Every structure is written in structure tokens, then in C-alpha cells.
Amino acid sequence: MKVTIRILFIIPIVLFSQQSNKNNKINTDGVNKRLNIAVQSGLITQKQADKRLESYLEKTKSGDRKNNIEHRFKRLGLDNIQEIKSKLKDNNITDSQLEMVLPVMLRLIHILKDQGKDSSSYPRITQHLENKIGLTEVQIKHVLKYSHMLARRLR
């Protein structure tokens, strides 16, 4: 019985937390209400409710995907995302392609930083850059070379 109540309590919070309101502001009223109900019914303590609210606010604070990728680069230690974007744009990579290239670069930098392998040994990344994003061979070489340079800078 308690497990069912907990599941019924958690599912709406998860669903509610994934929805964004019309103004892209953090709406904590519903989450607060559900957490207060859980505290009053004895499912969780006030301290646990405070931790959950803090966690929810931290997760929703990052904003849209564009800001999230910038945050991920900063967490990795690459603070100047604008410099990275301008270097890629100098090689005729469009804005729409740029939004798809940055997550690929991030993944490649992680691999190169952790494993130290050569970027040419990743044919799936090359195929993705060519087929899904539509980069030319010269642009692909630039992305791989630049990712390799950034990864070396982080070691």
C-alpha cells in the first residue's frame, strides 16, 4: 500500500517537473504543494522535501538546450564557448550545423581527454558529421582537429 502511494506521488512530480510554463520561468507552486502534502502525510520529512525542492530548482535552472551545452563545456573546463563557435563559423559551419556539432565535439573531447586516442580512429563520429549534419570533408577534418587540440589543452 505504501509503495503504491509513493509511486502515485512520484509520477506526478516527475511529469510536472518536465513541463515548462509559458514564460520559461521556474514554477515551483505545484512542486511545493506536492512536497507539502507528502510531508503532512508522513511519506517524507521536511528536510527531505527541502532537498528535493533544491534538486528540482538546480535541474530546472540550466534553461534551454543552448544554455545547457554551454554549461557542459564550462564544466569540462572550456569557458569561452564563443571562441569555439567563432572558430567553427570561420570554417563555413552554419548556425544550424553548429548546434549539432557542439554536442559531438563535447563527446569527442571527453573521449580524447579520457582515453587519449587519435580522433581519426572514430569513424562513427565522422559518419555522423557527414551524413546527419551535412559537413564537408574539410569541415569534418577541422572539427576533429579542433576537438583534438581542445582535449590536449585540458590534459
- What number is the average pLDDT over the span 64-86? 81
Residues 73, 147 within the same domain: yes
pLDDT digits (tens, 9 = 90+) for 92-151: 999 999 999 999 999 999 888 877 665 456 788 999 999 999 999 999 999 999 998 998
Non-local CB neighbours of 73 within 8 Å, separated by 6+ positions: 79, 81, 84, 102, 106
Domain count, the chain: 2
Last residue of a domain, one of 41, 61, 81: 61
132-138: which pairs have CB atoms within 8 A and are 24 or more residues apart? Answer: 132/100, 133/97, 133/100, 133/101, 133/104, 134/97, 135/93, 135/97, 135/101, 138/91
Last residue of a domain, one of 21, 43, 61: 61
Contact 115/152 with Cβ under 8 angstroms? no
Residues 141, 120 within the same domain: yes
pLDDT digits (tens, 9 = 90+) for 14-58: 555 555 444 444 567 888 888 899 999 998 999 998 988 888 877
CA 152 – CA 108 distance, rounded (Å): 12
Report which of residues 79 and 117 the model is more confident about.
79
Residues 46, 109 within the same domain: no
Residues 94, 146 within the same domain: yes
Residues 53, 69 within the same domain: no
Angle at alpha carbon of residue 66, lines to 104 and 25, rounded to 5°: 150
Band (5; pLDDT cuts 50, 70, 90): low
| DSSP assignment letter at 125 | H
Report which of residues 10 and 133 the model is more confident about.
133
Residues 50, 72 within the same domain: no
* Structural domain boundaries, residue 97: 65-154
Using DSSP's 3-state secondary structure scheme, residue 80 falls into coil
Residues 48, 96 within the same domain: no
